[in-house]
Amino acid sequence: MSLPDRIDPRPPRRIYRWDLDKTYLQTDFDSLKDLLRTAFQKAHEKVAIPGASALIRELSENGDSRLCIVSGSPKQMRAVLEEKLKLDGVRWDEFVLKDNIGNLLRGRFRALRGQVGYKLPAILESRVKAPAEAEEVLFGDDAEADAFIYSLFADLIAGRVDERVLSQVLEAGGVYPDDAERVRAAWKQIPVADPVRRIFIHLDKLTPPAHFTAYGPRVVPIFNYFQAALVLLADGHLSAPQVLKIAVEMVQTAGHNIITLSNSFQDLLRRGLPLQQAAVALSQALEGPNKLLAAMRPMPDILSAFSKRLAALGTPPPPPPVQAVDYVSLIHHALPRNHKGRTKPSP
Give the list of residues 6+ apart from residue 43 with CB closer than 8 angstroms, or none. Answer: 80, 81, 83, 84, 87
* Edge-to-edge order in the sheet of strand 135-141: 94-98, 65-74, 14-18, 135-141, 196-202, 219-222
Give the list of residues 6+ apart from residue 289 with CB closer than 8 angstroms, or none. Answer: none
By the 8 A CB rule, do 176 and 109 touch? Answer: no
Q: Which domains does the chain have, with CATH numbers?
A: 14-218 (3.40.50.1000), 225-311 (no CATH)
Q: Measure the CA–CA gap between 29 and 98, rounded to whole angstroms.
A: 16
DSSP letter at 253?
A: H
Q: What is the pLDDT of residue 149?
A: 97
Rounded to the nearest angstrom, the gap between the alpha carbon of residue 170 and the centroid of all alpha carbons in its chain is 22
Q: What is the pLDDT of residue 316?
A: 53
Q: What is the pLDDT of residue 299?
A: 58
- Three-state SS sequence of 16-58: EEECCECCCECCCCCCHHHHHHHHHCCHHHCCECCCHHHHHHH
Helix extents (H) in 94-239: 100-105, 110-113, 116-128, 146-157, 163-172, 177-189, 225-234
**What is the number of alpha carbons within 13 Å of residue 248 lying toward its C-beta?**
16
Sign for the pseudo-dihedral over CA of 247, 253, 257, 263: negative
Q: Measure the CA–CA gap between 90 and 85, rounded to whole angstroms.
A: 5
Q: Which neighbouring-strand residues pair with 48?
A: 25
How many other CB atoms are found less than 10 A from the CB of residue 281? 19
C-alpha distances (whole Å) from 34 to each of 103, 259, 346 are: 21, 32, 37
Q: What is the pLDDT of residue 294?
A: 56
φ, ψ for residue 132, nearest 5 deg: -60, -30
Output the pTM of the full model.
0.87
Task: Report mean pLDDT in 10-residue bins for the chain, 347 residues.
Answer: 58 95 84 60 91 97 93 91 96 92 75 84 97 96 94 97 96 93 97 96 95 95 97 95 91 84 89 86 73 55 57 53 84 66 43
Q: What is the pLDDT of residue 29?
A: 61
Q: Measure the CA–CA gap between 49 and 70, rounded to whole angstroms.
A: 17
Q: Measure the CA–CA gap between 78 and 51, rounded to whole angstroms.
A: 22
Q: What is the pLDDT of residue 340?
A: 46
